[in-house]
């Protein structure tokens, strides 16, 4: 009788330990997916930021009198580059919002300046920016999906008890800049 109780307790302890290990690994894997997805956003933000100097140069040749607009986009690019270097998701989103505003002004110059609008370099940069925006939208969606999965796992029983031990908190969603 005593040995069967000990065997039962031992089996129960092994099952609990196995469940803990599985939960720990599941939570850590979800956390890694979120970090990977955030890095994907950073890649696309960096790609977009790398297009800015070329865009500024092309616009400068046609719209010299628009120095304030060009300075604003250069400053916004620097802020975005700084935010992707380890800032929070909210900082990335705010920097992205500022760059979107600045880029909107620069691209509007293309509509008001016929020479600029017909420049192959300007049109090519616009296409590259549009392509990057599409990739960035996908990267944001992938990140938010990964965050939803992680938050669901971290917030449900029994993983709710394993998450603090694994050191994995819920993550914030990436807010689309507006």
What CATH number should be reported for the domain holding residue 124?
1.20.1440.20
Q: Model confidence over 11-45: pLDDT tens digits? A: 999 998 888 888 899 999 999 999 999 999 989 98
Does residue 172 lie in a domain region? no
What mean pLDDT do residues 156-177 have?
A: 85
Does residue 174 lie in a domain region? no
For helices 67-83 and 89-112, angle between their N-to-C axes, nearest 10 degrees: 160
pTM beyond 0.85: no
What are the φ/ψ torsions at residue 48 (nearest 5 degrees)? -65, -45
Q: Which domain holds residue 31?
A: 2-166
Does residue 29 lie in a domain region? yes
Work out how many domains the chain is built from and give that number.
1
Does residue 175 lie in a domain region? no
78-101 per-residue burial string, b: 16 or more CB within 10 A, e: under 16: ebbbebbeebebebbbbbbbbbbe
For helices 159-166 and 2-62, angle between their N-to-C axes, nearest 10 degrees: 60
Which residues, in sequence order, are CB contacts of 175 under 8 Å at separation 6+? Answer: 89, 90, 93
Q: Model confidence over 116-127: pLDDT tens digits? A: 777 787 788 888
64 — pLDDT class (breaks 50, 70, 90): low
8 A C-beta contact, residue 47 and residue 129: no
8 A C-beta contact, residue 52 and residue 73: yes
Q: Quick check: 58 pLDDT over 90?
A: no
What mean pLDDT do residues 89-111 have?
A: 83
What are the φ/ψ torsions at residue 160 (nearest 5 degrees)? -55, -30
Cis check: omega of the bond before 158, within 30 degrees of 0: yes
Dist CA 48 CA 132 (whole Å): 6
Does residue 177 lie in a domain region? no
62-68 LR contacts (CB < 8 Å, sep 24+): 62/109, 62/113, 62/115, 62/116, 62/119, 62/122, 63/109, 63/113, 63/116, 66/109
8 A C-beta contact, residue 153 and residue 72: no
Does residue 74 lie in a domain region? yes
Per-residue model confidence (pLDDT) at position 63: 67
């Amino acid at each position: 009788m005593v040995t069967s109780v000990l065997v039962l307790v031992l089996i129960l302890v092994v099952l609990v330990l196995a469940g803990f290990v599985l939960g720990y690994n599941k939570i850590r894997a979800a956390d890694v997916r979120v970090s990977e997805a955030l890095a994907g956003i950073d890649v696309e933000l960096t790609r977009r930021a790398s297009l800015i100097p070329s865009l500024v140069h092309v616009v400068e040749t046609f719209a010299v009198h628009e120095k304030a607009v060009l300075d604003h986009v250069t400053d916004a690019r620097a802020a975005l580059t700084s935010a992707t270097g380890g800032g929070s998701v909210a900082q990335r989103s705010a920097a992205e919002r500022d760059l979107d505003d600045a880029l909107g002004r620069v691209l509007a110059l293309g509509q008001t300046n016929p020479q600029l609008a017909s420049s192959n370099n300007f049109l090519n940069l616009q296409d590259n920016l549009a392509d990057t925006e599409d990739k960035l939208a996908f990267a944001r969606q992938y990140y938010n999906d990964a965050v939803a999965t992680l938050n669901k796992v971290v917030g449900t029983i029994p993983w709710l008890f394993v998450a603090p031990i694994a050191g994995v908190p819920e993550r914030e969603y990436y807010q689309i800049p507006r």
